[in-house]
Structure 1
């Protein structure tokens, strides 16, 4: 069993709860800009800054209103809203009176909302609009504990502040002071990739710990010297990664802006107007940004220039990585000259598209492709890939500053221990590990073993303590010949092709590995518009389909080049619809719901393998097949 234990750090001197940091900041630096907001969350208007003192006034005013409504320590209140200013105000007001926050993604179904509100025994829920009120209303009959539904868009925050005017400020102060670090702060429900979501009880200490450790060791990387870091928060606060971003900002005095829309157009506009100094993202966002860069370059007739610049960026970053790890001399003169040329003609334009001030990024949620990490580093935006999960309150590992090793998720944070069991499962021990699953003692005992959390993730530790994630234990595919295949690396490599939006590798109890592929609609439209004239004649549809078959075949072949033949994708099918929340194939945190995908596309999977069986002689010559019935233009 491999194990890596970092040097221990003294435990943070945390005396109270998460709300304390806001009170301390407002007392120490009341004029510090803490939040940037728009007058209307749905409007692309100008950003205005909210000082720490002004934010505290709103939080205390709301906390008084919550007390007037009977909210007291230990009560659970759900927040079912997008990432917006009011989410932060409500969370800190609830923590100020000792209540527990239960985040719910606003796109959750009636059944999911009913389950979470019931399982957590919530006494109140904060929603955004009338549609959400109707969702909650439709399940209220089965929720005897639920007494309050507050609607943000109808002025609930203002109304609560008015209700609380008769409550003394000292009441809030008294309630805040009885909150202990080990009091429960959040009941965060897992994504529910299979089965019902489970509520993870997270203490104030477990949520604050990773934030404080990252601020102590990495804060200087999130902005140029002398500048206040500025963070655009667009990840859902309904998940721990988003909550960690919020915690970093309010505990570290970073300026935070909220972007409630996850549409790429909205994020792109906010990046340009807010101009953050650092990005917190998931791999799919970074992949999409790269594809947008490529598409824009091709539309401007500079596709070849972009691809040369991208290769140079990766080569430069790789040479620099070898140098800092003591394995090479660094970029040579010719590479430095090429890089300097592309800096003037390409790289600074790419950074300008992100607002012009981004000096780095963190990727989390799933491992980031090494080639993509090298690209961003090479254009001047080093990406620190990290690892964490709901049950750990956020971060477990991070890339050490000056010793980044791309393709890994870094090393364990100080104070956290990581080891890898004989079967490859990652085990974690540390102060951020959760308190247990709500109403599920058996499930808690299953994952907490002698103080170690069994993460369910597979990976490996190298001799320097860097962790590599290879997939989920439950996702490993075993073919009918007994070959075990981890799907994540193949899926990650497939997504790197501009045309591929998502991919799911299948093959349990099948003779070979297969894949279901969805296409990026925007890049597909761009690709079709730029086909040679020969593919746009009278029989253009057939010609386009043939060209597309060939392009996707190349993408699959590229992915297969990273694995053995027995692990390679031998059959695949392009689906006519995306994986998304609406059809139940993605979780709110944008993870694949593999069981739901296998059920929804059972007929397509069966047809894919039947087609393969009928054409087996051809399959032996060419390991790839395209179902003759597929028509990606239907």
Structure 2
């Protein structure tokens, strides 16, 4: 039995208090502000939670209230969330990119009583829909810049004033806060986590203290972390992946959470920290892979030659290392040479040299990209789960890593496959259901098992293999099954392809809409003297189409079955975007929406007589304005398919 099993008896504020008793002066949080890293000890962390909790209570908040958080990752975000938990309130994260109309809908649905925003941009969004959210008593902000005109309105509260209110309330009744913390129970709902919303408005998943803490305990039973380990917090707090680490892993292990100065500086700040533990959506690792490719492409010919040789050696060695098999002395020596002279300096440049634990989840990462990271010495593991099971239910173990799987269940997690192929799970990390959606909750937890909505199977090694969403698995007009996600990931392994959307359900063949990677393809074009102005202009170049054709042919050459091969494709004139509703907040494709939005392109893909088509492109900007541009799209047919 693990020595941290007793942590499951705590609420999150109680566990924070326990951490103070264990290591009061150890650094819990670190934030970069104006270029300087500022630290908070566990003792100071708890002190700010107390100030915030008592301040919220002085404002009239308490049990039954919900506090929405719209903020980049900063310590105050945790002070507000856990301070709210301490007084019996519930926190809820809203993505920073959410537009005012959707913010109003979410606040109404979650019955929010107060909102915390980090800056004027987010405050203004809430202010814009003020008349639609009468239940919101206060809007708390952290950054006072640009807020001077709001100071005469007591609807807005500076968080420093909230701290003062909390200190004053604590001075009047010094025992109250501790007694409120004592009342918390592990089974209490503490947070409402929004689902990714692939099919409409997100649902508020009710998460308990025990859900998060159990996740932190179980994942570290598989991959232990040290109190001295560093973690960089750059994932959106509204996503379960960040909550899992902030509420669960950090509390269960005592690791330090580092907050970058901004979203834009996150990757450069990561280099300064040199984290030991990292969790990211596939897009993060795809981006780092493109950065590595650019560094190699810009290097001298000899360096490229050495890289290309040793990456092949690394991939071979990774195959042995991932499965725990011993390799020959010669291969081990070559792999060591590659690591010391090629990959170690490269990994150091991107800030991952100290990394011991790296995970990816939220969507599938292609096996090729996964193996690439193992080959360069980054211990990347695939995890699988969903919001409703606190992010993780399955993960790889060291020495038992298979790129085509998502590993085995975490300790205390059960798995079975339903008759229709759906993955079902059961664990203490499973949510009690959706906020005020009893019918949806009943469907989710039917028969006492969490219904994932994903299709999969258990292989002969006991690993879970995820095929695709049950609703997304496709069959061609002959009834042959294929996974669009599998083909999309195969395409995205190419550094030139940023995104791909596969079609072919009840059709004669598979077709794709493809987004080129503007950075990598832009560099490729510049090296060949190809001038261009915009992404649209670049994507229309015949030379770029030939480049992507080669990538599609390569994917087709590795297809196991003929009906997996892509026959037709087009290069989309714009990047798929969250703001346009084409991607979820976590970067998943909203496939049905994309097909409907680009119905004219979809139809042209399946009309082999069409080589080009004029379209009217609509672009939506962050301020809500849109513009229309006419352009001509070319359609390409792959020979021999």
Normalised by the length of structure 1, the TM-score is 0.88
Point out the more displaced range, 333-342 or 293-302: 333-342
Match of 1:500 in 2: 497
How many angstroms does 1:303 deviate by?
3.0
How many angstroms does 1:447 deviate by?
1.9
Match of 1:606 in 2: 603
Structure 1 residues not aligned, in runs of 5+: 1-6, 616-626
Match of 1:312 in 2: 313
Q: Secondary structure at the match of 2:512?
A: strand
Match of 2:584 in 1: 587
How many angstroms does 1:544 deviate by?
9.4
Contact 1:16/1:177 (<8 A) preserved: no
Match of 2:203 in 1: 198
Aligned Cα RMSD in Å? 2.6
In 2, the alpha carbon distance for the partners of 1:494 and 1:504 equals: 10
In 2, the alpha carbon distance for the partners of 1:473 and 1:631 equals: 30
In 2, the alpha carbon distance for the partners of 1:54 and 1:275 equals: 24
> Residue deviations 1:321-363, cap 9 Å, x none?
34x1xxx5x3223322322222232111122123332233111
Q: 1:46 to 1:130 in 2, by over 3 A?
A: closer
Point out the more displaced range, 494-503 or 417-426: 417-426
Match of 1:14 in 2: 8
Q: Secondary structure at the match of 1:83?
A: coil
Match of 1:179 in 2: 184
Match of 1:232 in 2: 232
Q: 1:340 to 1:216 in 2, by over 3 A?
A: closer
Q: Secondary structure at the match of 1:450?
A: helix
Match of 2:327 in 1: 331
Match of 1:159 in 2: 161
Contact 1:429/1:452 (<8 A) preserved: yes
Match of 2:61 in 1: 71
Match of 2:534 in 1: none
Are 1:93 and 2:93 counterparts? no
Q: Secondary structure at the match of 1:36?
A: strand
Q: 1:54 to 1:171 in 2, by over 3 A?
A: same
Q: 1:331 to 1:510 in 2, by over 3 A?
A: same
In 2, the alpha carbon distance for the partners of 1:143 and 1:446 equals: 30
In 2, the alpha carbon distance for the partners of 1:117 and 1:420 equals: 36
In 2, the alpha carbon distance for the partners of 1:11 and 1:277 equals: 23
Are 1:119 and 2:106 counterparts? no
Match of 2:251 in 1: 250
In 1, the alpha carbon distance for the partners of 2:387 and 2:74 equals: 21
In 2, the alpha carbon distance for the partners of 1:159 and 1:318 equals: 57
Contact 2:50/2:166 (<8 A) preserved: no
Contact 1:187/1:201 (<8 A) preserved: yes
Structure 2 residues not aligned, in runs of 5+: 145-156, 532-536, 612-630, 637-641
In 2, the alpha carbon distance for the partners of 1:574 and 1:303 equals: 29
Contact 1:12/1:209 (<8 A) preserved: no
In 1, the alpha carbon distance for the partners of 2:18 and 2:309 equals: 50
Contact 1:495/1:502 (<8 A) preserved: yes
Contact 1:294/1:306 (<8 A) preserved: no
Contact 2:4/2:252 (<8 A) preserved: no
In 2, the alpha carbon distance for the partners of 1:258 and 1:8 equals: 30
> Residue deviations 1:138-161, cap 9 Å, x none?
323232321111122127221101
Q: Secondary structure at the match of 1:501?
A: strand
In 2, the alpha carbon distance for the partners of 1:585 and 1:614 equals: 25
Match of 1:299 in 2: 298
Q: 1:110 to 1:477 in 2, by over 3 A?
A: farther
In 2, the alpha carbon distance for the partners of 1:405 and 1:506 equals: 27
Match of 1:512 in 2: 509
In 2, the alpha carbon distance for the partners of 1:441 and 1:363 equals: 31
How many angstroms does 1:203 deviate by?
1.1
In 2, the alpha carbon distance for the partners of 1:270 and 1:253 equals: 21
In 1, the alpha carbon distance for the partners of 2:389 and 2:367 equals: 25
In 2, the alpha carbon distance for the partners of 1:281 and 1:398 equals: 14
How many angstroms does 1:260 deviate by?
6.4
In 1, the alpha carbon distance for the partners of 2:295 and 2:68 equals: 41
How many angstroms does 1:372 deviate by?
2.2
Q: Secondary structure at the match of 2:224?
A: helix
1 or 2 for the larger relative contact order (CA 8 Å, sep ≥6)?
1
> Residue deviations 1:458-500, cap 9 Å, x none?
1111133211111111112233443332111100010010110
Match of 1:81 in 2: 71
How many angstroms does 1:173 deviate by?
1.3
Q: 1:407 to 1:482 in 2, by over 3 A?
A: closer
Q: Secondary structure at the match of 1:404?
A: coil
Match of 2:128 in 1: 138
In 2, the alpha carbon distance for the partners of 1:14 and 1:271 equals: 31
Aligned residue pairs, count? 593
Q: Secondary structure at the match of 2:202?
A: coil
How many angstroms does 1:380 deviate by?
2.1
Match of 2:269 in 1: 270
Contact 2:473/2:482 (<8 A) preserved: yes
> Residue deviations 1:549-574, cap 9 Å, x none?
22211211222223421232211111
How many angstroms does 1:578 deviate by?
0.6
How many angstroms does 1:250 deviate by?
2.8
How many angstroms does 1:28 deviate by?
1.8
Which of 472, 486, 490 is the aligned partner of 1:489?
Answer: 486
In 2, the alpha carbon distance for the partners of 1:28 and 1:597 equals: 51
Contact 2:115/2:138 (<8 A) preserved: yes
In 2, the alpha carbon distance for the partners of 1:577 and 1:292 equals: 21
> Residue deviations 1:506-545, cap 9 Å, x none?
22343321111101111011111223x7x78xxxx99993
How many angstroms does 1:631 deviate by?
9.5
Q: Secondary structure at the match of 1:47?
A: strand
Point out the more displaced range, 446-455 or 375-384: 375-384
Normalised by the length of structure 2, the TM-score is 0.87
Spell out the pairing of 1:351-370 with structure 2 (5 A cutoff).
Answer: 351-355=347-351, 356-370=353-367
Contact 2:539/2:545 (<8 A) preserved: no
Match of 1:216 in 2: 221
Spell out the pairing of 1:469-484 with structure 2 (5 A cutoff).
Answer: 469-484=466-481
Contact 1:392/1:433 (<8 A) preserved: yes
Match of 2:552 in 1: 556
Spell out the pairing of 1:402-481 with structure 2 (5 A cutoff).
Answer: 402-481=399-478
Which of 381, 385, 399 is the aligned partner of 1:384?
Answer: 381
Match of 1:618 in 2: none
Q: Secondary structure at the match of 2:16?
A: helix
Match of 2:28 in 1: 34
